[in-house]
Amino acid sequence: MNTELLNHKLSEPEFLLKKDWIIRQIEFKLKMIDLELSTKHNRTIMQKVEHRIKDASSIARKLIKKGYKITFENADEKLNDIIGIRVVCLYRDDIYSIADLLKQQKDFTLIKEKDYIKNPKKSGYQSLHLIFDVPLIYKEATETQRVEIQLRTVAMDFWAGVDNQICYKKNPAKLKTAELALKNYSTEISRMDKQMMELRKNAEL
């Protein structure tokens, strides 16, 4: 299958409606979680929630990278992040509070958890990734849709945004200096995130 055909399948109304339905379900859950935590701690928790549906060229690239043929079935079955939701908050510990509440949702099945905060990627990338199966019920049928939720601080989001523009998925041979600098900034960001959390904790005493 070529990317054009994949693009056609990914643009079908039923496919898009189902993805949109799941995104809305999750965003409502996140609003409830935000309300619960902000009421409990008396401060704003989530700074930003955004979503995207992966486009055909990005799906094709990832299928090739993972060694699969470019087919609609492989895209739907093998990739975890066709639906991606990103939650950004100020403090590192809020990420884990949100993650705990997401894991408590009876209708969400946790498939995989990747803690790139405790174990940053080689690039320096930090975020907590939770991959869930979320049910979509229509008439008698229940089908599940896979979703990746990325949780990160504002500082981690800043880092990932810059990395995305400069290094991520770019020609590595040309990027040694930028890669090294970003790796160092990732360590700085981690240190700063911890200090900001301590500042807040001390202010709460």
Three-class SS of residue 47? strand
Site size with ligand 0O2, rule: CB under 6 A: 15
Residue where the block lists tokens 């700063």: 192
Cβ at position 18, least distance to ligand 0O2 in Å = 19
Pair 109, 173: CB distance under 8 Å: no
Near ligand 0O2 in 1-30, by CB under 6 A: none
Rounded distance, CA 30 to CA 26, Å? 6
| DSSP line for 62-82 | HHHHTT----HHHHHHH-S-S
15-27: b or e for each residue (b if 16 or more CB lie within 10 Å)? Answer: eeebbeebbebbe
Q: Which amino acid is at 108?
A: F
Choice between 45 and 160, CB closer to ligand 0O2:
160
Which region, judged by CB under 6 A, interacts with ligand 0O2, from 31-39, 94-102, 162-170, 171-179?
162-170
Task: Residue 146: name the closest of 124, 131, 168 by CA.
Answer: 131
Closer to ligand 0O2 by CB, 38 or 53: give it: 53
**Member of 91, 108, 125, 132 binding ligand 0O2 (CB under 6 A):** 125
Nearer to ligand 0O2, 32 or 166 (CB): 166
Mask for 68-107, x = binds ligand 0O2 (CB under 6 A): ------------xx--------------------------
193 near ligand 0O2, judged by CB under 6 A = no
Query: Rounded to 5 degrees, what are φ and ψ at 70?
Result: -80, 90
**Closest C-alpha among 82, 117, 83 to residue 99:** 117
Q: Which is nearer to ligand 0O2, 58 or 105 (CB)?
A: 58
The least distance separating ligand 0O2 from the CB of residue 150, rounded to whole angstroms, comes to 6
Residue 58 binding ligand 0O2, by CB under 6 A: yes
CB of 122 to ligand 0O2, least distance (A): 8
Instruction: Supply angle C-alpha 33, 81, 29, rounded to 5.
Output: 15
Q: Of the two residues 34 and 81, which places its CB atom closer to ligand 0O2 in the complex?
A: 81
